[in-house]
């Protein structure tokens, strides 16, 4: 079993974030097959069972989804490309 920093009861009120993220990932054609068999997130164990999202996956998802904050602003960050490939990142207000 995976260990989490929050007890299950404390985390359950925020599992909607994982459910929303899963729904978004399923809309990315390159990633959808990996997440197709994961229908419901009802517990932290369900979160732990999800396939790991690696950096290239995240970049693919960000390029397709262009995330926006529900409230406030979405900040866009870009690296200088010191790894040879500049990266773009998004962070909603309060993140």
Q: Evaluate whether 12 touches 6 at the Cβ level (below 8 Å).
A: no
pLDDT score for 72 = 64
How many other β-carbons are positioned within 10 Å of the β-carbon of residue 41?
20
φ/ψ (deg, to 5) at 82: -65, -20
pLDDT, tens only, 39-52: 999 999 999 999 99
Tell me the C-alpha distance between 14 and 85, whole Å.
Answer: 34
Global confidence as pTM: 0.70
∠ CA 20-38-29 to the nearest 5 degrees?
Answer: 70
């Amino acid at each position: 079993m995976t260990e989490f920093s929050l007890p299950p009861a404390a985390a359950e009120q925020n599992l909607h974030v994982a459910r929303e993220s899963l729904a978004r990932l399923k809309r990315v054609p390159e990633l959808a097959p990996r997440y197709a068999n994961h229908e419901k997130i009802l517990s932290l164990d369900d979160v732990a069972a999800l396939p790991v999202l690696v950096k290239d996956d995240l970049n693919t998802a960000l390029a397709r989804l262009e995330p926006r904050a529900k409230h406030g602003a979405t900040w866009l960050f870009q690296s200088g490309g010191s790894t040879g490939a500049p990266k773009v990142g998004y962070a909603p207000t309060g993140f």
